[in-house]
A = this chain, B = another copy of it.
């Protein structure tokens, strides 16, 4: 565990949106920057599918975080001005309650018996945590990808509790293409014989399925144009040695996928992955509109400002989805900015092109 990680068990049970109750919810989070005495400078940061709460380094934990270049004094999420709070999402496995946690009896793990997770639950426990920390309103919610879903759900469920939102490479809901990719990933995991219907031993489980799912994920997270420039037709050294009946990796892009998969597998619990993945498919902001429309849902918002950032090469959350977000957020009493970036790295760009995302997000947050 990170030396900077804080942990809090909520004082009340939590009722899940699609049924079921978590008798006990523990949340792992990290904070950077001082909270003002008025408790009015909090910035709540939601993560993508796989990261922990460790968004950035600090004295207590000098290891680089998943958004290291974006969080710190003078950075886009400027900790000289804001009190940044990043949570490990409900349903994940880096200190927050999820399928890998002890179940209601405390004897076994939730495993496949964890209630169906919704994005609104991720937002709901975050709100409960902030309430217990005495923070009733945040200056901004910020999230990329799944984190953007969580941030939007937070604004929809608790409209009075948010002043501004920063939604990066996200959407109002998933496209059928994204659902198809994630459905395939889940099937790869579930059909691995080692999945054992979700009752694998802790640390074991469907490693082969997770590896294949991760490879497919990387295909969807990057962009063909990036790979044209980065790999082209480059071969790996000694492809013959790869064996596998002549079907082992021969191209640099194949070795790249393999390396990504090797790094990921073993670190993320399969049941957690399945739950968060399905929650992304199920999320639909329109459910928050009394008449089931996105327009009615967005009419609930009380945001004073919103920033939407998208990337032209994103396959999974195509830029048309961010354009839709910006259109729906437009309101006479709200400052709305929409930034389209022509980064090459597709959906993952926000993890890589720090300078360009800083230029988009930094001034917006500074102007609040």
Q: Interface of chain A, helix or strand or loop or mixed?
A: helix
A249 touches B212 (CB 8 A): no
Residues in A42-91 with C-beta less than 8 Å from chain B: none
Indicate if the CB atoms of A253 and B180 lie closer than 8 Å.
yes
Query: How far does the Cβ of A99 sit from chain B's closest Cβ, in whole Å?
Result: 11
A127 within 8 A of B: no
Q: Do residues A278 and B247 form an inter-chain contact, with CB atoms below 8 A?
A: yes
Partner of A176, one of B175, B212, B232, B284: B232
Q: Do A253 and B184 touch across chains, with their CB atoms under 8 A apart?
A: no
Copies per complex of this chain: 2
Contact of A179 among B112, B188, B254, B278 (CB under 8 A): B254
Instruction: Give the interface size bracket for A toward B.
Output: 35 or more
Complex: A216 Cα to B188 Cα, angstroms: 11
Which of chain B's residues have a CB closer than 8 A to the CB of A245? 112, 190, 197-198
Q: Do B318 and A177 touch across chains, with their CB atoms under 8 A apart?
A: no
Tell yes or no: A200 within 8 A of B by CB. no
- Asked whether any CB of chain B lies closer than 8 Å to the CB of A330, the reply is no
Q: Nearest chain B CB to A203's CB is how many angstroms away? A: 21
Q: Mark A245-261, 1 if CB is under 8 A from B, else 0.
A: 11101111110010000
Chain A contacts to B: CB under 8 angstroms: 112, 116, 173, 175-177, 179-181, 183-184, 186-188, 190-191, 193, 197-198, 208, 212, 215-216, 219, 224, 227-228, 230-233, 244-247, 249-254, 257, 274, 278, 281-282, 284, 315, 318
